[in-house]
Structure 1
Amino acid sequence: MLQKADPLRAFTTLVMAVVLAVLIGWILVVGKSVLMPIFIAIISVYVLLTATAALARVPLIGLLPEWALRGVVLAIFVLVLLLLASVLVGTAEQVMARLPVYQKNLTDMLESISTRFEIEEIPNLSTLIETLWGRINLQRIAAVGIGSVGSLAGVIFMAVIYSTFLMAERGGFARKIAAVLPQERASQAHMMVRDINRNIGEYLTVKTLVNVILGVMSFTVLKLFGVDFALFWAVLIGLLNYIPYVGSLLGVVFPVLLTLAQFGSIQTTVVVAILLTGAQMWVGNSLEPRMIGRRINMSPFVVLVSLALWSSLWGIPGAILAIPLTSMFAIILANFEGTRPIALLLAEDVQAVLQNGEEK
């Protein structure tokens, strides 16, 4: 009788899992404005706590009490965000003022190419170029982009508020788990939180350091060639590098297009593109693998799927948060026997998941 009931139970479990997944997806879409700052705050706290632990190992500074170290790290975090916000706002105003110049440079470049290669002999080609280019409204595109930046600034502001309270209440989290759950469950929950803290915290901290290095290299290249808004593009390149695979490509495309619009020179644009791509390749193929290693145990296919899923739900912020959030879910799934097979499907190193399961 039990054997006959097992297929029905498995089917029921599968149906409930699908329904739960659809429900969670619906909640993530509907509650985007509320949930996104909370998730950003949680991810930020991992970086802040890891930075606090590193600061505690510094001579003299490490003698400070833990609450003081957290306060110093949080103050630096807020200061960095304010500086980034000032760069974004200041750059947005300058871009709007420079757009007519960029559009004229591109138009002159197209006319020069047409004259040099005698493309004007092709019937109506010059008229076609003029018609297509006239339909591109750079000011409207920039206005949409600036509006998106303003919306993102509001999300970041709420994330800072949430991060402050999470940092303050972190000490009582362990006591709450012990009070709510039985001893065995509380111990399992502590181990799960410990794994999440270690994996996500180390990954985000090292990834942030890698992105800062990439941003400095990109800033040096852009400043060397006199590209407008070099600091803004360097910050954008560093932020986009949180997005696996796609982010590095976008990080090069945007400043390269601006270089073309600013100078109207294909030669300069090609050189800038080669140098920025070289920096991305060195960081992605040499520096990042050595520093990050296998802190995030997910297969490349799962990384792409999670990137597509979270970006479709929350746009660019979702793409940036895709890897940490998916990794958190994978660790949670690996801690329960019933959901461990799903964690095995998500993992790149299956033995690591099985070993952690046996330890628990």
Structure 2
Amino acid sequence: MKAEPAAPGAGDADSPDPRAEARADTHLMRSLLVGIFILMAIYALYFARAFFMPVILAFLLALTLTPIVRFLRKHGMPDPMSATLLVLLSFCVIAVAGYLLSGPVIDLINNTSVIGQQLAERLAQLRRPFERIVEISRQIEGLTQTSQQPGIQRVAMAPSGILSQAAGNVLSAGTSITIVFVLSLFLLASGTMFYEKIVQSFPSLSEKKRALRVVYDVEREISHYLLTVTVINAGLGTVIGLGLWALGVPNAQVWGAAAALLNFLPYIGALITITLVTVIALISFETISYALLAPAFVILCDVIEGQFVTPTVVGRRLEINAVAILIAIAFWSWLWGFVGALMAVPLLVVIKVFCDHFDGLSPVGNFLAAQHTAVDVEEISDTEKAAGA
């Protein structure tokens, strides 16, 4: 009996599906392109940081001041006028604060060696664990003295080179600061121009409404967060500065300003502030027990701010998990140094808000968010196993 030919498509069940292979290849190609784009973006951010850093700072400053501009717009003040007043006020506040703090900060930098000696004297009873470090430092001093003997060549940088380098750094910093304030002024004074451009980019009315709603929500949440956190950090720095001044800590205004600035670095900033205040208090007061009151006060202020004030005012929705924060701080500090570390958390919040408003990016936003409800992973796994059985 002659066998009939097999029907089309009724072959081996294990034969590969061409459409599935095509989809897999497309997905792989798309992933490779995304990875290449991310690497190129990191490369551009690193080598073109002189351009990108002031531009991103200007956008963050504009977003921080946007709620105030919006409030003044509702009360009849034009956007260009309110933007000019706010940018000038911000520049004056930063300039005056920098001028008032420059003297004490320079004195602290010049007296670093003296502070180190005083701290070593105060902690003489705890010197045994550090004997090895002291021995290494003495060896380094011996090598330094040997290098100053005749017959050994010494390499020194010419004073003119130092002065030219310092002048170049000052000029570069001044240019960046000018770009930040001027660009933020134009961004704030533009009003609804960017919203109109976004609306004109979509053909249908429904798409225009959806795009405008998303853009308004993102801008409102980010600006509210940045302004609120800035005000909270300024209040925290003021309270810490006044408290340290009442305790008699020298240069209390410097440590209050440092606490406000470093509080943009969650966890790490508070730790740095506590360490600095502890060192200054130990060398400033006679008794160690009284000296420890200053860092204890800073810890109390940080706990109240981190556990009660910020979650209550900002809300739980925009909280970021600690792992993502530390990774972002490490990445941006490697990319742009200390300024990048300060911008790490605000940029992370910007990314999270954007991801929350787009369905395709919602898993990324969910990964960045802090977890408030416990999920029993083992229970879910057991349930899946039971269902499969």
How would you bin the TM-score normalised by the shorter chain? 0.7 to 0.9
- Give 1 or 2 for the bigger CA radius of gyration: 2
Is contact 1:37–1:155 with CA below 8 Å preserved after alignment?
yes
Match of 1:177 in 2: 198
TM-score for the superposition, normalised by structure 2:
0.73
1:259-298 to 2 correspondence within 5 Å?
A: 259-263=281-285, 265-296=287-318, 298=320
Match of 2:38 in 1: 21
Match of 1:53 in 2: 70
Q: Is the counterpart of residue 342 in structure 1 residue 364 in structure 2?
A: yes
Match of 2:256 in 1: 234
State the shift of 1:272 in Å.
0.7
* Aligned amino acid, residue 326 of structure 2: L
Q: Give distance in 2, aligned partners of 1:209 and 1:166.
A: 21
Identity %: 22
Higher helix share: 1
Q: Give distance in 2, aligned partners of 1:212 and 1:316.
A: 19
Question: SS in structure 1 opposite 2:190?
Answer: helix
* Aligned amino acid, residue 173 of structure 1: F
Q: Which runs of 5+ in 1 are unaligned?
A: 136-145, 351-360
State the shift of 1:126 in Å.
11
Root-mean-square deviation (CA), in Å?
3.6
Is contact 1:203–1:295 with CA below 8 Å preserved after alignment?
no
Question: SS in structure 1 opposite 2:192?
Answer: helix
Deviates more, 1:126-135 or 1:258-267: 126-135
* Aligned amino acid, residue 185 of structure 2: T
Match of 1:76 in 2: 89
Q: Give distance in 1, aligned partners of 2:208 and 2:348.
A: 23
1:182-201 to 2 correspondence within 5 Å?
A: 182-183=203-204, 186-201=208-223
* Aligned amino acid, residue 59 of structure 2: I
- Per-residue CA distance 1:190-220 (angstroms, 9 max, x = gap): 3332222112111111111211221111111
State the shift of 1:167 in Å.
1.7
- Per-residue CA distance 1:32-55 (angstroms, 9 max, x = gap): 111111111101111111123345
Question: SS in structure 2 opposite 1:277?
Answer: helix
Q: Which runs of 5+ in 2 are unaligned?
A: 1-17, 143-165, 373-389
Q: Give distance in 1, aligned partners of 2:291 and 2:72.
A: 42
Deviates more, 1:231-240 or 1:290-299: 290-299
* Aligned amino acid, residue 325 of structure 1: L
Q: Give distance in 2, aligned partners of 1:323 and 1:346.
A: 11
Is contact 2:80–2:190 with CA below 8 Å preserved after alignment?
no
Q: Would you say how many aligned residue pairs link Structure 1 and Structure 2?
A: 331
TM-score for the superposition, normalised by structure 1:
0.78
Match of 2:119 in 1: 106
Match of 2:138 in 1: 131
Match of 2:5 in 1: none
Q: Give distance in 2, aligned partners of 1:100 and 1:12.
A: 57
Is contact 1:202–1:295 with CA below 8 Å preserved after alignment?
no
* Aligned amino acid, residue 256 of structure 2: A
* Aligned amino acid, residue 5 of structure 1: A
Q: Give distance in 2, aligned partners of 1:125 and 1:7.
A: 59
Match of 2:26 in 1: 9
Match of 1:165 in 2: 186
